[in-house]
Amino acid sequence: MRASRVFVIAGREARSIVASPSGAIIIGTFWAVAGLILMSLLFQYRDGVLRLAQTSGMQTGPRGLHINDWVIRLLVQNMGTVLVLFVPLLTMRGFAEERRTGNLELLMSQPVRGAELLLGKFLGAQLSLLACLAVLIPHAVVLAVVSTPDWVWAATAVFGLLLVGLLFGAVGTLLSVLSRSQIEAGVLSLGALLLLAMGPGSLASGRGLAAAIGRYLSILGRFEDFARGVMDLGHVAFFLGATLVILALALRSLDLVRWQG
């Protein structure tokens, strides 16, 4: 496998998403939603500080009302939920559109390996996701102006968000390989991500083996630790391992699609 081919495919895929009218709408909408979330959280934080200042005579947020917990944690958690809705929009085109137009057979006949094509498409979608998450840069500037955030906490939270994006992107890529249209891929990806995000968590609240399995597989539960500024290598290994397993399934599925014509 040649890395240069992967990067070329990734660049083309990212440009095809970001430079398209639909891609611009997706990214613009993501930025708008993220901005509204930040604005809402900042207003809530301000109101909380004012209430405590009135009752305790304190002029600044006391310990326990820090912007890390009131804004950064909730901002990243909410953006993790938003990814469930937006990642399918970024990955649905990858292979489904190629299958619909008949270009997949042409691509597979070129001197490009299936793994190179798969990784290129996957990384291209991840680059377009980074264009969405770039909204965190102006967010960081705003937070630096209004308060003194713990940047290690913030970096840990963003790292967790990137890991979630990798896993969700792998799921979207797999289902795009298995689909024959963008709509089908998008709907299947959305359903799968909703199930992955909420299913294990619903089991984790109980007891016994099912609850233990639910806690282990709980994506949002693991992500919440990152949002709290906790770097757990076990969580990192889980997200990376799950991403690799799903990409391996996607590669196997791509091979089957290729042989079936």
* 8 A C-beta contact, residue 112 and residue 9: yes
144's tokens = 């630096």
CA distances from 226 to 76, 85, 162, 234 (A): 9, 20, 11, 12
| ∠ CA 49-54-56, rounded to 5° | 90
Cα separation, 7 vs 122, whole angstroms: 11
For the chain, the C-alpha Rg in angstroms (whole number) is 20
**Per-residue pLDDT tens digits for 112-165:** 678 888 999 999 999 999 999 999 999 999 999 988 889 999 999 999 999 999
Cα separation, 202 vs 187, whole angstroms: 22
**Per-residue pLDDT tens digits for 194-215:** 988 887 666 666 677 777 777 7
Q: Hey, how many other C-beta atoms are within 10 angstroms of the C-beta on 121?
A: 28
pLDDT at 259 over 80: no
Q: Average the pLDDT over 15-37 and give the result.
A: 94
Burial class (CB in 10 A: 0-12, 13-18, 19+), 90: buried
Q: How many CA atoms lie within 13 A of 42 on its CB side?
A: 15
For the chain, domain boundaries: 3-260
The reported pLDDT for the residue numbered 3 is 82
Q: How many CA atoms lie within 13 A of 140 on its CB side?
A: 13
pLDDT at 29 over 80: yes
pLDDT > 90 in the chain, percent? 56
